[in-house]
Structure 1
Amino acid sequence: MTQQRSVRQGAGMDRGRQRPGRKKQKAVLGPREKRRVIQLVVCLALFLTVFIGKGIFPQRVAALRDQVLVLLRGDTDFQAVFSDLGQSISQGEPVLDSVSELWIEAFGGQLEETDGTGENTLYAAQVSYLSGFPGQGEAGMLGSTIKAEAAPTVAATPAPQPESTPEPTPTTEPEPEVEHVNYDGPALPDNTSMDKYHLNLEETVTPVMGWLSSPFGWREHPVDGEEKFHNGVDLAVNTGTQVLAFADGTIDYIGDSPEYGLYLQISHANGVKSFYAHCSELLVHQGQTVQAGETVALSGNTGNSTGPHLHLELKVDGVRINPIYYIETN
């Protein structure tokens, strides 16, 4: 009996393949080890069935099929392979390492490393099947295969684009306060302008309807004969013609002087003031409120004058402007 076992072991040594660096010794499998080997064979059969049938690792199915066909047609000594597995387990070696060695001895060669980490993806898939926990199904048993497979490409969600801001509706430009008037004459005195200012008064009235006897600007004085700047306009009318208030306002002051004769000034809104001179009679007093078109004086020939007329001046915030822009003449 001992001699037959030795002969059988010798035959197994001839047929088995020696692992490099270690002297191969065959162990006798007891009932417990045989049961484990049977369980392992069943697991391997199930693994191959699922692995090939479900199409997992489709790029490796053809190669694995060829390996299985070569194995079935060859002369691999499965008894020696499983005997080594049983001996490794009985010596306390890790089960997964023993299974890995069994796979290499049965199928031969080195399994290809494909993930660049040193871990063999096919081996990881085999171990996942053998070490999966009951009840986990394919998701639990394929834990390593999910790691080995290439991560699916997830399309980047485009960043939300900010809502376009509607363009503001163009607003109508306010009317300019001053209209520029071309002037190429001599330099103007301080606080004097030839531009047309927008007075923004509710109502304006022509103080007297006469003809323009002397305009606003530089002129030869009719009495003195000198070149002087005329600060207003002269409107020729008969003596005693009613002089009307240019706009609503308050009488700033009244007076009498050798130059202007009887005169008065009215203060209007928006810094506008009107000045009336050479009157024959004043009909208002200082501080009195008047309405546009109300009679405030009578025209005359008082002061430094050559004939009956009304001298009219307009000012905006202290700047003398040309009254001809705002009145009518004959």
Structure 2
Amino acid sequence: MEDIVSRPKYSRHNVSRRKRRNNIQGDSRIADKLLGQIIVCVALLIAVGAFKSIDTPATNFLTDKIKNEISRDIEPKAIYNKAEQLLSYALEKVWGTQLQPEKNSTDDEPGEEIDNASLPYEGDKGAYAEGELKGASGEATGEEYMSDGELVSFIKSRHQFVVPVAGALTSGFGDRVHPVTGENEFHTGIDIEAEIGEPIKAALDGKVIEAESSDTYGNYIKIQHEDDITTMYGHCSKLMAEEGQDVKKGNVIASAGDTGISAGAHLHFEVWKGGKALNPEEFVKVPSE
């Protein structure tokens, strides 16, 4: 009897069926890939349309970047990673928020990173907050950048002056013609009319740093106060406080006179903040003549 060889039934059909199944699976993967690309591209096109309505360097950069990515033929995973990075950048730079990463992610494949050097430059952030300029000592100052009005407001918020002598205002602060020399000058203080011998008081607590005589101001006293404030009292007939002496606001430090270049008995009174002369009338009320 001839040997009977057992063959599987319909073997040709089985091979054909496997080929068709493999082709279907391959077509399915291609379809999934195309579908993913289409979805991502549609989302990116919507983003481009939104960014076009916002004309800023950041959005213009993103528009160009997205267009470039759409034109490239890459895997859906890479497209997704790129889209996520661009969206995160957009949220942070355009709207000021950040895209939060998904928790418990098992994806260990890093996405393509955006080159920071290609991002639009927005300028350096200020090293200091507004109003906190640093001086050589490292402490916040900024007085040299303050206007006269700001200096006056600062002083008035911390100190209350007393009128150094009772009397009427005879010459104000600022440009004037000198009553004796006739020359144009900037008057760095005010003149208050006073009788000879009338007591002169310290406007604030402080320390006497000068008690001397000069050709212009005659006998004068200069007092240093807190916050780098200085007051000066000129044309005195007699000095009662001495250099280095601590004085309290309202203490009598001298008596009025007409020493130095003077057209009559009066007190020349100055207020300085640092190296800047300020109008004393901002701090004391003196009636006009």
Q: Pick the TM interval, shorter chain.
A: 0.5 to 0.7
| Contact kept? 2:239, 2:253, Cα under 8 Å | yes
One-letter code aligned to 1:306: A
CA 206–115 in structure 1, closer or farther in 2 if over 3 Å, else same: farther
Answering whether residue 243 of structure 2 is matched by residue 286 of structure 1, we say yes
SS for the counterpart of 1:102 is: coil
Tell me by how many angstroms 1:180 deviates: 5.1
Contact 1:216 1:232 in 2 (8 A): yes
For residue 241 of structure 1, report the CA deviation from its aligned partner. Answer: 2.3
Shift of 1:317: 1.5
1:1-330, aligned counterparts within 5 Å? 26-27=2-3, 83-85=4-6, 101-104=7-10, 111-112=16-17, 113-116=19-22, 161-162=99-100, 178-179=146-147, 196=152, 198-199=154-155, 201-330=158-287
Q: CA deviation at 1:110?
A: 5.5
SS in 2 for 1:116: helix
Instruction: Write the deviation string for residues 63-84 of structure 1: whole angstroms up to 9, x where unpaired.
Output: xxxxxxxxxxxxxxxxxxxx32
User: Alpha carbons of 1:269 and 1:195: their partners in 2 closer, same or farther (altered >3 Å)?
Assistant: closer
Secondary structure of residue in 1 paired with 2:249: coil
* CA offset digits 1:4-31 (Å, max 9, x no partner): x6xxxxxxxxxxxxxxxxxxxx41xxxx
Give CA deviations for 1:208-239 in whole Å, capped at 9, x if unaligned.
23221001122111111222222210011222
Q: Count the aligned residue pairs.
A: 184
Contact 2:160–2:283 (8 Å) recurs in 1: no
Between the aligned partners of 2:280 and 2:199, the Cα distance in structure 1 is 18
The RMSD of aligned alpha carbons is: 3.9
Q: How far does residue 312 in structure 1 lie from its aligned partner after superposition?
A: 0.5
Work out the CA distance in 1 between the residues paired with 2:151 and 2:179. Answer: 26
Give the C-alpha shift of residue 108 in structure 1.
6.0
In structure 2, C-alpha distance between the alignment counterparts of 1:300 and 1:238, rounded to whole Å:
7
**Shift in Å, 1:327:** 1.0
Q: Which has more radius of gyration? A: 1
| Contact kept in structure 2, 1:203 and 1:292, CA below 8 Å | no
Q: CA offset at residue 103 of structure 1?
A: 2.2
Listed as ranges, the gaps of 5+ residues in structure 1 are: 6-25, 28-82, 86-100, 122-146, 164-170, 182-193
Distance 1:243 1:198 in 2: 26
1:240 partner amino acid? G
One-letter code of the match for 1:198? F
Partners of 2:237 and 2:229 lie apart in 1 by 25
Kept in 2, the 8 Å contact 1:262–1:282? The answer is yes
Contact 1:279 1:297 survives alignment (8 Å): yes
Q: Is the partner of 2:272 in helix, strand or coil? A: strand
Change (3 A) 1:307 1:111: same
Task: Specify whether residues 116 and 272 from structure 1 end up closer, same or farther in structure 2 by C-alpha distance, changes over 3 A only.
Answer: same
Q: Percent identity?
A: 28
SS at match of 2:22: coil
